[in-house]
Amino acid sequence: MKEINENAGDPMKPLQISAETAIKLSEKLNVPIENLMHMPQHILMQKLAELAQQEKEAGHPSSSMEQPKDSGENRG
């Protein structure tokens, strides 16, 4: 019996991300929002990994990777 690919023949669904996230990613990746929204998820993940690597090598941490600074106020 043949395996059936559930996604075969279906048009790609746009990425399920907020408008704010789409704008930020579009600017960071230098890609038009329309292209970003229809980009396959595995391609987007590859581009984000490349961007993170470039920023790491340049010594500029990605704003999405920054952790909030702990002021110590919540420690008991």
Q: How far apart are CA 29 and CA 22, in angstroms?
A: 10
pLDDT of residue 67: 45
Output the CA torsion 42→47→53→54 (10° steps). Answer: 170
- Give the tokens for residue 63: 């704003």
pLDDT digits (tens, 9 = 90+) for 6-64: 444 445 677 888 999 999 999 999 999 999 999 998 999 999 999 999 989 988 765 55
Contacts of residue 65, defined as CB under 8 A and 6 or more positions apart, other chains included, come to 52
Which pTM does this prediction carry? 0.57
Q: What is the mean pLDDT of residues 61-73?
A: 52
Asked if residue 72 has pLDDT above 60, the reply is no
